[in-house]
Structure 1
Amino acid sequence: MTRTDADIILSGSEANATLADRNTHATRVAGKGADPEKKALFASVTKRIDYSPKFGTELHGVKLAELSEQQSEELAAFIAERGVVFFRNQEDLDYKQQSKLGSRWGPLHVHPLVPHNQENPEVIVLDSRLSPQSRFNTNDTWHSDISFEPAPASFSILKFETIPESGGDTAWSNGYDLYDSLSPNLQKFLEGLTATHTSEIFRTLQRVTGRQTFGKLNDSSHPVIRTNPITGWKAVYVNPVFTREIDNVTESESKWILEYLGDLIAKRLQYQVRFRWEPHSVAIWDNRSTHHTGVPDFRPYHRRGIRVTVSGEIPYFDPNSGTQAEAYKVTAAAIVAKQEAAEKAKTEANAGGQPAKTA
């Protein structure tokens, strides 16, 4: 999409000041009823690259603009399992098709402050050259999209058309794995807590720039540990950008909890994957179970992309939820068995086709 002045709304007006007030929650859980083997989706996949055993996958051969309803449903389930899924060479996916894909999963969110596409207000334009300059065009702090809303994001779909010659990666952190790494006593303690997520960061930007909003800047309380409705797994659901405080504890206790969890999100590399963008690459992630951050190391190069955000359900915690760690035991055993079989075959081949001797 070529940028023109008509593409961007830089501030709200009386005509569009209530656009974001139309935001609502999803009425169904996209992906929950998908084929567990995802046969329709993987029929198009020519290559799969897992960025880590549990988290982050790049799929080749899939054309997002051409997905069937069944494939998009299975993709939603796969994203929930892998956290974030990457695609290359998506030239055919324009912003209208991004919106079409997102709308299959739920109502599209209209951001209350960030600049919009004029024709489709649910489309956010992320352009490092937008004026006035602001860090929100390249958010460099770990967060989950729009967690301040009563029904925060389920999925986000981000495509970059213009990328810098160097720098400008995006990183994601696995909220499932973060939860699984905590001690049982701390898990139990956090499961009983809620936290207030606030849009104060946008109120500050509004005061500094004088921008009008597209609707109300909300504050909402959500469980600290959230159940993903697709996988049924528990994940840590607080973030350094939007989570203001832990409810019903002292200020010092709230600060300690948020700093501790924020430190795990940002600094524990075992929870993270990092994506190097190419022109027309797309990333789709599940905000219910991941955190992400842009890496603002690319200036003076230009970076420009399009994001569509899907509103999900109202966050909840189910004490009977499972965990990624439990579900992964079967996968881990299969990986070990595959490796052992390969090693055995190699040993037999080196022995001239004879079975290896044992002690």
Structure 2
Amino acid sequence: MTLTHTGLTQEVLAYTAPHPPVKEFVPPKDRAFYADASKSSLLSAATSVKNLTPYIGTELTGIQLSQLTPAQKDELALLAAERGVVFFRNQDITMDQQYELTKHYGLQDRDPSQVDPRHVTVMGRDDDIRAFANYGADFHSDHSFEANPPAYTILRLIRTPETGGDTIWTSQTALYDKLSPHFQSLFDSLQAVHTSEHGYVNAINRGTQPYRGPVRRTHPLVRTHPVTQVKSLSYNPAFVIYLEGLKGAESLHVLNFLRDHLHAADDLTVRWKWEPGSVAFWDNRVVAHRAVPGGYNPEEREGKRTEIFGERPFFDPVNSVTLSDYRGKLAHVEDGATGETNVATTNGVKNGQVNGANGAKSSGDGVVSLNETNANVGP
């Protein structure tokens, strides 16, 4: 592809990435499909279950991730799909155990900057979030420019500063839910073009050698979660550059609206104060996140992140539901109105229906082994 980034240098133009882009593939079946809708195995093992906000974020205490049973692991995936992100403190899980836990959920994604194939090391940020092209400090969903963007992510903090270094997550299912029906209908029909060009250029200018060259992918602006069937915005200010089907000025105005919509959503966010041994488990398909930079020594913040490839993003106009509809169904089941316990029957979807083709569109280029990606944006 032709580079158009403002940070082009001779170093960037002279660099050739050693690997081609990642080719689209069909990942293993999402483990949340195997979960009991009540999540009783997981939740009953906790001494406390606390929803941190109405829309996003649940903290479980009294549970060690290193000791989860297969059923509890599956229910954790479903809980993350429903609540966006699940938090734990005082965890004893080791790097090897985190790696094994991640593999339970599928094929591991890999950041180009990581040396250890098991994880990427996430450090603090001291840059100004108001700086031009500071993509890492803005809201994003990891690697959305991939043919198969990540599904589940696990981040464990080893060292944390006394103050600062928090991470914020925003519910993109709730962001969609808060739109007017007219905007929902418009966004349902749009395709967003994602690019890794910014990260590629910035990485080379920092002295890093990315594993693969920049790519552009087209994904639906609204995506359907394969398990819950809930519709979510798939907007990523770090990587989305324009919207197909709109004129240039129209695309710019819509993207500006989406950015404002995301940044104004204080009621749809959760902010997590890290401690050593804290872990966050989230579903990249339904949230955007950002590290809050500045005000502390970045060397005092270190984490280990692992994540898996997800399905190709798709939009199913027939079977998708809004977050409000889904929450209503959950309340109906919890009130004992039905005896259904399987997540597939509760959500009104067929067990195993992962890649609904209706309305789906995702374009890509090139082939590479499944453990190579290109991004340099961290939580």
Q: Counting helix residues as a fraction of each chain, which structure ranks higher? A: 1
Partners of 1:97 and 1:213 lie apart in 2 by 27
Partners of 1:181 and 1:26 lie apart in 2 by 31
Please tell me whether the aligned partners of residues 232 and 322 of structure 1 are also in contact (alpha carbons under 8 angstroms).
Answer: yes
Partners of 1:59 and 1:228 lie apart in 2 by 23
Please tell me whether the aligned partners of residues 85 and 280 of structure 2 are also in contact (alpha carbons under 8 angstroms).
Answer: yes
Please tell me whether the aligned partners of residues 25 and 311 of structure 1 are also in contact (alpha carbons under 8 angstroms).
Answer: no
Higher-RCO chain (CA-CA 8 Å, sequence separation at least 6): 2
| Deviation string, structure 1 residues 192-226 (Cα, Å, up to 9, x no partner) | 11111110121221341343222343321110000
Corresponding residue of 2:48: 47
Which amino acid in structure 1 is aligned with residue 45 of structure 2?
S
Alignment: residue pair count: 314
1:67-82 paired onto structure 2 within 5 Å: 67-82=68-83
Please tell me whether the aligned partners of residues 24 and 312 of structure 2 are also in contact (alpha carbons under 8 angstroms).
Answer: no
Larger CA deviation: 256-265 vs 204-213: 204-213
Among 176, 193, 213, the alignment partner of 1:179 is: 176
Corresponding residue of 1:304: 302
Which amino acid in structure 1 is aligned with residue 51 of structure 2?
D
| Deviation string, structure 1 residues 33-59 (Cα, Å, up to 9, x no partner) | 310111211231110110112311000
CA shift at 1:76, angstroms? 0.4
Which amino acid in structure 1 is aligned with residue 172 of structure 2?
G
Q: 1:188 to 1:159 in 2, by over 3 A?
A: same
Partners of 1:264 and 1:96 lie apart in 2 by 39
Partners of 1:74 and 1:334 lie apart in 2 by 16
Corresponding residue of 2:268: 271
Q: Percent identity?
A: 35
Partners of 2:79 and 2:225 lie apart in 1 by 13
Partners of 2:179 and 2:151 lie apart in 1 by 24
Q: Verify: 1:98 aligned to 2:98, yes or no.
A: yes
Corresponding residue of 1:167: 164
Larger CA deviation: 16-25 vs 208-217: 16-25
Q: 1:289 to 1:129 in 2, by over 3 A?
A: closer
Q: Which stretches in structure 2 are left out of the alignment for 5+ residues? A: 1-16, 127-131, 336-379
CA shift at 1:231, angstroms? 1.0
| Bigger Rg, which one | 1
Please tell me whether the aligned partners of residues 126 and 137 of structure 1 are also in contact (alpha carbons under 8 angstroms).
Answer: no
1:211-250 paired onto structure 2 within 5 Å: 211-250=208-247
Please tell me whether the aligned partners of residues 59 and 88 of structure 2 are also in contact (alpha carbons under 8 angstroms).
Answer: yes
Partners of 1:193 and 1:129 lie apart in 2 by 34
CA shift at 1:243, angstroms? 0.8
Partners of 1:172 and 1:202 lie apart in 2 by 21
Q: 1:23 to 1:316 in 2, by over 3 A?
A: closer
| Deviation string, structure 1 residues 205-253 (Cα, Å, up to 9, x no partner) | 1341343222343321110000011211000001110111111211111
Corresponding residue of 2:328: 329
Corresponding residue of 1:13: none
Q: TM-score, normalised by structure 1?
A: 0.81
The DSSP-based 3-state class of the residue aligned with 2:87 is strand
Larger CA deviation: 99-108 vs 307-316: 99-108
Please tell me whether the aligned partners of residues 204 and 210 of structure 2 are also in contact (alpha carbons under 8 angstroms).
Answer: no
Partners of 2:125 and 2:233 lie apart in 1 by 34
RMSD over aligned Cα atoms:
2.8
